[in-house]
Chain A
Amino acid sequence: MRRRPPPLRLSRRTYATTRPAQTAAKYLERIRLDQGPEGLNAFVSVNYDLPPEVPGADGTPEPRLCIAVKDNICTSTLPTTAGSLALSNFNPPYSATILHLLLQSGAHILGKTNMDSFGMGSFGVHSSSGPVRNPRDRARVAGGSSSGSAAAVAGGLCDVALGTDTGGSTRLPASYCGTYGLKPSYGLLSRHGIISYADSLDTVGLLARSLPVLSRTFQILNQHDPRDPTSAPEDVRQAVAGAARERLRRLGDGVKGLRVGVPAEYCPSELSPQALRPLRNALRTLRRMGAELVPVSLPSTRYALSAYYVLASAEASSNLARYDGVRYGFRAPAAGEGERGDAAQGYARTRTRAFGEEVKKRLLLGTYALTAERLTEGSAFDNYFLQAQLVRKLVKRDFDAVFSAPNVLSSLPAENPTGVDLLLHPSAIGPAPLFSQLAEQDSLDAYVQDVLSVPASLAGVPALSVPVSSQGMDRGEEEEVEGCVGVSVVGQWGWDELVMRVGEVTGDKGDH
């Protein structure tokens, strides 16, 4: 009953080039067809202006890269709501740096995509514009918080989508929707113009059906930005790019001699059997091609999820304090004349109405984690925030200990000859849940979805969710699979190119 065939027939041409697949007009037509109550609900605003055509070498028009942009990335030509009533009427007076870079490169912006409010949510259901459906199975969630971006890519409504990733917000929906989803190294892609959820964890994310297109978009955006104080400086970029390029040169075309770590801690009890099959297939492919598989341990992983929620919520409680309805965004009208002039009441009224339940929950949690109120021993700040920062350091140390390449950002970068080039693990503990299952879940079940993705966020290292076939390679292993789970490739800070190389080798060759 819930297996509704996708309404759009996508061409089966193998996507081996970096050329866009469709013209903007074709994509706009598809976006238009998808609208309505049965649609994916991927877009919240659409740019119907067609770009002028640019003739290519052979005289036919050169297709522009058509891009969908998550609605927490500021665009001066389209509203930017961050999926929240708080910004329902917000038209930014400026555009994000990454948007300028894309436009300069000749890309075309198709529209803005639906998302969980302020990036808070794993399923794409916490949006003021309603839930997003999974194009593979419309009874399932698309995943969050970059839900519309993943659905637009998987549904063939754009070439590439920009998302954001704070704890898995690009990789989880990519895993659920069967697309590539890259969370680049923290500090490579400019955050200027990205509406903050948790600044120390927020990154721009990229989603695409094919890796060459994703990689090309990454190249366009991978630039230092003086407007972002956390943007990696030029010298650091060059240092790490040199080392990574040298490793890629030695690997030649393939992955022969690549050391791939398989972390023991990434198979928690919550992991579903469906999550393991794609991983096994990917590992098999790599071994067949001459890579060496190495079991590794990242012992602090078990504390990562709690630490993540403390830090992300604490930063969110600070970052979202600005939504008071004074200078921009939604303002709740005063109930009566007596309430006028009382600023505190105005803030409370506006914020109570503007924020959804999930956002409120995290703001309260984060506010508490920063309070100096004395508890039996120490304050909440000491017991939660500082502890979480400590765990974050341990998680970083775990990654630095297993990778062979040194972390150029750490104070004592040292090569580790017994280390691995990359890590592989399932992107999520299971496939996308059905909308009907969400009601039975408690909020903790939603948070557990991020258990495998938050360590890379805490460490700031690059992670790519790769769609890998879950079909058994051996006879007899085939069975019907409900939903898909991606495989995450995680590398040392700045080794995004290597991560993408392995993604390309192991991933499904994108149906287009």
Chain B
Amino acid sequence: MLGRVSCRLARLSQRSTRSYSVEVTDERWPGWQPVIGIEVHTQIRTRRKLFSDAVANFDAPPNSHVSLFDAAFPGTLPVLNKACVDLGARTALALDSQVHERSSFDRKHYFYADLPAGYQITQHYSPLATGGKLHITHTHKKVKHERDVRIHQIQLEQDTAKSTNQPGLTLIDLNRAGAALMEIVSEPDMRSPEEAGAYVTELRALLRAIGASNGNMDEGSLRCDVNVSVHKPGESFGTRCEIKNLNTIKGLQIAITSEIHRQIALLSSGQSVAQETRGFDEDRAETFKLRSKEDAPDYRYMPDPNLPPLILTQDYIRDIRARMPPLPCDIRQRLSEQHGLSERDIDVLMSMWAVSDVPFDGEWREDDALSYFQDVAQGRDSRTVANWITNELVGSLAYRGEAFTPQKLPAAHLGLIIDMVQASDLTATSGKALLRRLLEEPCTSEPLSALIDRLNLRSIGTDGLQQICEGAIQRLRAEAESARRGNTKVLKRLVGEVMKASKGRADAQAAAAMLREMLGLPIEDTKD
């Protein structure tokens, strides 16, 4: 917790940020101020569903993980999954939200095939937590923006089934029915599409770091509804429209931008904005009307008579707090302060964990960006380590189109490669080759040093280099003669020949130095 406090203090001292206390309107819509609030629905990363013991697995064949309760069979009753409450409370604490000692569950009614019981169990009247904030940072047009986005409330609820429409047919997959969702509702605190994107990005990173959700937007485990309104600075907020179901950060930003332009166009032509729910057409980059306020369904909210109030004691909340994994801002801060890494390196390190698997039920994840870095950096130079990770490792993974997991390259292996390169036992080229080889085929049984020998990667040493240089001079006599006469340009060809002959085990600079010595050229020239 100390880390979090100092983390916040560090933010206060940061400079070059733009203040929003004076409203400066965006050049895209001069004279207009957009106001944005976001409702995020995110699947809670639990093994089992919110009120049933069916496994929450949405990739499985349709309707293969369905309990009688999920299918709303008569006589079945909900039994609350404690792991979902734990992760909800953990999220609330991570967002500085007030976890209520007493919250309760309500039914929201509507008839649709994706809702087998005819109602969704949610927390309408007394949510799990209210208040809180999320600090966001983003850079737009080279200006760094920072803001605390306030959280309105956090509630637990059931996910619906997945329906797939075909002509004249609706297919229902109940695997998702009754899975645990968390709805995180922000206050209307964002002022630009980029800020909205930064909020979702930051929230997603936080949820992943604490194990509350895998935040996978492609698979629909994190979905956004966005409220947008525009007004002139100094005037009160305009009428808002809600855009439903935005499933990519890019799509969210495009939808908001388009909606801002639509509303400004209406108001500028003397019309008014009608309060309505809108959808987003990604292909046309436009929002479209789903229903007006008058058509809004009456959900007939009713306290769920089967579920007693959820009572969370102070002891329980203390316990959840004590088991809180490090938050992204804590990790960033330690990478920066303890290891002196640049913001760019930290960004790359953090992004390596952005797609990794999140363990179920809030179980402690053994590794994160910080712990992996620390394991490799133990007794080594931080910057060198950062360089290897953010350039060589990330680059090789990107080339392979793979996501990082610590199993792919254990910290000990990467550390050994760095050490050997530092000690010139491996050339940098060989080190990189070894790294790529390990990603291709993880070294399990064989000791790494044996593998290096087997692959003949070990540095050839001074004697070996001398032999190879001699060989090169023999083979390229004309060039060697030319060099002796002072034509240093051909030296590059000779070095190339040496490198080729050594299969990367020779160091290019050392080779150039040795060739110069052999050909009787001055040494100082090699420095360029």
With A93-B68, A199-B305, A385-B302 as given contacts, are A322 and B74 in contact (CB-CB < 8 Å)?
yes
For A315, the closest partner residue in chain B by CB is: B305
In the complex, whether B401 has a CB less than 8 A from a CB of chain A is no
A475 to B119, CA, bound (A): 61
Provide the residues of chain A in CB contact with B305, threshold 8 Å.
198-200, 315
Provide the residues of chain B in CB contact with A230, threshold 8 Å.
77, 306, 308
A240 to B170, CA, bound (A): 52
Do the beta carbons of B301 and A229 come within 8 Å of each other?
no
Chain A interface size, under 10 / 10 to 19 / 20 to 34 / 35 or more: 35 or more
Do the beta carbons of A372 and B300 come within 8 Å of each other?
yes
Do the beta carbons of A343 and B77 come within 8 Å of each other?
no
Do the beta carbons of A192 and B72 come within 8 Å of each other?
no
In the complex, whether A191 has a CB less than 8 A from a CB of chain B is yes
In the complex, whether B79 has a CB less than 8 A from a CB of chain A is yes
Provide the residues of chain A in CB contact with B300, threshold 8 Å.
317-318, 367, 370-372, 381
Least CB distance from B304 to A in Å reads 8
In the complex, whether A80 has a CB less than 8 A from a CB of chain B is yes
A279 to B325, CA, bound (A): 66
With A90-B74, A192-B77, A229-B306 as given contacts, are A343 and B112 in contact (CB-CB < 8 Å)?
yes
- Among B80, B107, B113, B170, point to the contact of A318 (Cβ < 8 A): B107
A90 to B75, CA, bound (A): 12
Do the beta carbons of B307 and A229 come within 8 Å of each other?
yes
Chain A 2-56 interface residues, beta-carbon cutoff 8 Å to B: none
Chain A 145-198 interface residues, beta-carbon cutoff 8 Å to B: 191-196, 198
Provide the residues of chain A in CB contact with B169, threshold 8 Å.
341
Of A317, A322, A344, A373, chain B has the most CB atoms within 10 Å of the CB of A322
Do the beta carbons of B306 and A328 come within 8 Å of each other?
no
A226 to B81, CA, bound (A): 12
A48 to B492, CA, bound (A): 99
Do the beta carbons of A227 and B79 come within 8 Å of each other?
yes
With A321-B118, A322-B117 as given contacts, are A228 and B77 in contact (CB-CB < 8 Å)?
yes
Provide the residues of chain A in CB contact with B313, threshold 8 Å.
none
Provide the residues of chain B in CB contact with A343, threshold 8 Å.
111-113, 170
Provide the residues of chain A in CB contact with B168, threshold 8 Å.
340-341
- Interface SS of chain B: helix, strand, loop or mixed? loop
Chain B interface size, under 10 / 10 to 19 / 20 to 34 / 35 or more: 20 to 34
In the complex, whether A249 has a CB less than 8 A from a CB of chain B is no
Provide the residues of chain B in CB contact with A130, threshold 8 Å.
none
Do the beta carbons of B116 and A195 come within 8 Å of each other?
no
In the complex, whether B76 has a CB less than 8 A from a CB of chain A is yes
With A229-B308, A315-B305, A344-B111 as given contacts, are A327 and B116 in contact (CB-CB < 8 Å)?
yes
A185 to B71, CA, bound (A): 30
A385 to B112, CA, bound (A): 25
With A87-B74, A192-B75, A314-B302 as given contacts, are A322 and B111 in contact (CB-CB < 8 Å)?
no
With A318-B107, A322-B118 as given contacts, are A370 and B302 in contact (CB-CB < 8 Å)?
yes
Known: A322-B118, A324-B118. 10 other contacts (CB 8 A): A96-B75, A193-B76, A229-B80, A229-B306, A229-B307, A321-B111, A321-B119, A322-B116, A372-B299, A372-B301
**Chain B residues close to A by CB (< 8 Å):** 68, 71-80, 107, 109, 111-113, 116-119, 168-170, 172, 298-302, 305-308
What are 10 A-B contacts with C-beta separation under 8 Å? A195-B74, A196-B75, A200-B305, A229-B77, A317-B300, A318-B118, A322-B74, A370-B300, A381-B300, A381-B301
The 7 closest A-B pairs by CB, nearest first: A321-B118, A200-B305, A370-B300, A199-B305, A341-B168, A322-B72, A195-B74
